[in-house]
Amino acid sequence: MLADRHQRTQQASRIPGDARWRLPSRAERADCQAMPTSPTVVWFRRDLRVTDHPALAAAAACGPVVCAWIVDPELLARRHHRCPARRAFLRAGLAALDADLRDRGGALVVRVGRPAQAVPALAREVGARAVACTREVSPFGRRRDEDVRDALAASGIAFHEYDGDLVARLDDIPGPGGDGYQVFTPFHRQWVALPLPAQIPAPSELSGPRVSSDGLDALDATSPPMSAGPAAARAALVAFIRDGHADRYAEARDLPAVAATSRLSAYLRFGMCTSAQIGRALGLPGQLGSGRAAFWRQIGWREFYHHHLARNPHVARQACRAPFGAVAWSDDPALLGVWRAGRTGYPMVDAGMRQLAAEGWLHNRARMVAASFLVKDLHVDWRRGETVFMQELIDGDPASNNGGWQWTAGTGTDAAPYYRIFNPVLQSKKFDPDGAYLRRWIPELRAVEDRFVHEPWRMDDAQQRAARCVIGVDYPAPIVDHAVEREIAVARYRAADPARVGGP
């Protein structure tokens, strides 16, 4: 009923350029408050905030709520979720959510268990007639939510899903054949023209029954690498715009030594901020300058990958472009280990992997270079690298990570052609010309002259000794010869399906 009403109100307010969302009207509120005061369970997942939360707003406008988080031990045990930094960030984000709910008279109830059992059990315990949540797009999330829907239906409890995190719902961008787009540019053309969802205030007051909580001990209690919660997200966004980084984004975004990007990815990952909040802060609706427009375009890439994964769940495990499912990977675990440890002997790759291990975050340029090296120079299956990133990235996200890996591997949507292979030395010279990023993450290179810092193996013995960087002792020799491996990679891709993949 809640969702039906909400859909109606959405349709009523879907006037181009107008607000996407509105709360139930006074008459509608009177209608639902006249009903027995059974609460709605609001089930939080990747939407850890109280503003711009349609499910929470609609449920609170209609009566008592029970706000819940389910710790799913089976999910946490999956290889993509074994990431201590992200779990610590999540725990801190849940604590921030609990505090925001308590400010309004509510609280976060935590239950441990499989959602298909734990959610209906909580709903029955509090006498709820409905469970409301924000819609998920990942294949795992969709399957889980179908199971929960079925389990709730067996108890006569409704399950209402709301849009909320993305600017575009799937049906906003159906694509020419109704199954979305495989390439970014036409998606972006439609996406950028959509009106932003209007702001939804946080409920000023929450009421509901007192319910016992299992607490968050199942999640890592270590301190996260960055502050969590909507207030921290807002502060990062405000500083990014105030300090001119949004306006200079187009020129500076590719330089890993410079703190020129927003670092909002982990907040977006857990819904501590939304695309629409970012758009509004940038000045939308309205004309954006080139820097802000370039930044907003990257938010569009995130939404593109979310739509693509939602419509093509098989890409979570398989190459998006079918022929490349047949590439012969080497999958040498020793090579994977050397890459992960940042000891390949290629400074740009090693600096990136060391930053990732230290900070749980990695600059986009360094992500591309490191990923390309694993796949094209070491011939390791992109899925192995995808898993490593999921285990280390605080912003590790099934849609964006899979999209980024398949793009770099040349197996994905709109991907770089397989024969266009990143040269780790040229990338380093172009995007870190003075080696500041390399020296920050590779102390062995600190005394190496600028002219050698991108290729330290070119120093002769005396130069190595003078720089206190003896190759093979202080810093590894290159693990492979890029020029040789490049040719091997091209041959392997070409062999996968010469009739269809094209190329030189």
Ligand X SMILES: Cc1cc2nc3c(=O)[nH]c(=O)nc-3n(C[C@H](O)[C@H](O)[C@H](O)COP(=O)(O)OP(=O)(O)OC[C@H]3O[C@@H](n4cnc5c(N)ncnc54)[C@H](O)[C@@H]3O)c2cc1C
> Contacting ligand X (CB under 6 A), which of 98, 145, 377, 395?
395
> Contacting ligand X (CB under 6 A), which of 268, 288, 375, 438?
268
Report helix, strand or coil for 261: coil
471 strand-pairing partners: 475
On the question of a cis peptide bond just before residue 201, with omega within 30 degrees of 0, the verdict is no
> Contacting ligand X (CB under 6 A), which of 43, 69, 184, 305?
305
Stretch that binds ligand X, among 59-67, 130-138, 367-375, 431-439 (CB under 6 A): 367-375
> Contacting ligand X (CB under 6 A), which of 44, 162, 301, 475?
301
Stretch that binds ligand X, among 203-211, 337-345, 402-410, 462-470 (CB under 6 A): 402-410
Tokens at residue 60, please? 């609170």
Residue 409 makes contact with ligand X by CB under 6 A = no
The Cα–Cα gap between 317 and 107 comes to 38
Residues 269-288 that bind ligand X (CB under 6 A): 269
> Contacting ligand X (CB under 6 A), which of 405, 422, 475, 493?
405
Count of CB atoms within 10 A of residue 32's CB? 17
Residue 265 makes contact with ligand X by CB under 6 A = yes
> Contacting ligand X (CB under 6 A), which of 393, 448, 453, 467?
393
Residue 3 amino acid letter: A
Residue 389 makes contact with ligand X by CB under 6 A = yes
Residues of 56-72 as b/e, b for ≥16 C-beta within 10 angstroms?
bbbbbbbbbbbbbbbbb
Residue 397 makes contact with ligand X by CB under 6 A = yes
Stretch that binds ligand X, among 110-118, 177-185, 360-368, 444-452 (CB under 6 A): 360-368
Stretch that binds ligand X, among 25-33, 297-305, 325-333, 351-359 (CB under 6 A): 297-305
Residue number closest to ligand X, CB atom: 404
Count of CB atoms within 10 A of residue 337's CB? 11
Residue 111 makes contact with ligand X by CB under 6 A = no
Residue 83 makes contact with ligand X by CB under 6 A = no
132 strand-pairing partners: 42, 160
The Cα–Cα gap between 131 and 43 comes to 7
Residue 418 makes contact with ligand X by CB under 6 A = no
Residue ranges in 253-397 assigned as alpha helix (H): 265-269, 275-282, 290-311, 333-340, 347-359, 364-372, 382-392
Residue 406 makes contact with ligand X by CB under 6 A = no
Percent helix / strand / coil, the chain, rounded to 5: 55, 5, 40
Q: Give the nearest distance from C-beta 352 to ligand X in angstroms.
A: 10
Start-to-end CA distance of the chain, whole Å, equals 58
The Cα–Cα gap between 65 and 122 comes to 12
Taking Cα atoms as reference points, which of 300, 296, 185 lies closest to residue 247?
296
Q: How many residues bind ligand X (CB under 6 A)?
A: 28
The contact set with ligand X (CB under 6 A) reads 253, 261-265, 268-269, 298-299, 301-302, 305, 364, 367-368, 371, 389, 393, 395-397, 400-401, 403-405, 408
